[in-house]
Homo-oligomer: A and B are copies of this chain.
Amino acid sequence: MEIPSKILENAVHEISKLPGIGRSTALRLALNILSREESEVENLTLALNQLKKNIKLCSSCYNLSDSDLCSICSSNKRNKSVICVVEDIRDVMAIENTNQFNGLYHVLGGKISPIEGIGPNKLKINELIERISRDEVREVIFALSATMEGDTTSYFIFKKIKSENISFSTISRGISVGDDLQYADEITLGKSIINRIPYNQSN
C-alpha cells in the first residue's frame, strides 16, 4: 500500500523493523501515534531513548539493572551460594515469577550455537567461572533451553567448572502440567519415564 506522506512512510519503515511487526501493523501503530497528544508521544520516545541510554547490566549476574548491582544480587534475603544459569533476561523474570527460587542468577546472554556463530567467548561464561571461584558457590542449576544448543552449553560449562565442592543440576524436563500424554512428543515422554519422581514426594 502506497503511503501518501514521506514522514509517515519513514515512521512506518522504522516501526516495522521491530520483531513481529509487519507493514500493516506498523501503519496502524503510526496512525495511532499521530492521533495522540504531543506530550504522550514525547513520553513514549523519551522512554525508548532512556531505555537505551540509562539501563545497565548488573556487574555480577548481567541481569538488567538501574544501578551497578541488580536488586536480586544486592538483596540480603537471597541465598548467595546457589546460582541459576539462564540464557536471557526474560528467563530471570519467568523464574522469579514462579516464587520457587531464592538464589542468585547468572545471565549468559545466549547459548552456544555454531550455526549462528555464537561461541563460548561471546557468552558470559568466563565471568561465571570467575564468579564461582571468587564467591562461595555450593550449587549451580542450569535452566537453559531444552534444545541441543542448550544442552551443549550446560555441558561446556559443567566441564569447565567441575569441582567436588559444587553440586550441579538441571531443571527437570517432562510433561507440562495440564498436558495430555497422547499429545506429548516421544522424546519428552521417554525422558519423563527415565527421570520419574518417587510418588511420595510433594509433586
Contact = CB atoms under 8 A, between A and B. Distances in A.
B34 A55 contact: yes
Interface in A1-30: 1-8, 10-11, 13-15, 17-21, 25, 27-30
Contacts of A52: 33-34, 36, 38, 41
A21 B44 CA distance: 14
A70 B3 CA distance: 12
A64 B28 contact: no
Contact of A10 (B38, B50, B65, B96): B50
A52 B6 CA distance: 13
Interface stretch (A87-95, A123-131, A135-143, A157-165): A87-95
Interface in A21-74: 21, 25, 27-34, 36, 38, 40-45, 47-55, 63-66, 70-72
Nearest to A109: B35
Interface of A: 1-8, 10-11, 13-15, 17-21, 25, 27-34, 36, 38, 40-45, 47-55, 63-66, 70-72, 89-90, 92-94, 96-97
Sorted nearest first, the 5 A-B pairs with minimum C-beta distance are: A45-B45, A14-B47, A11-B51, A11-B47, A41-B52
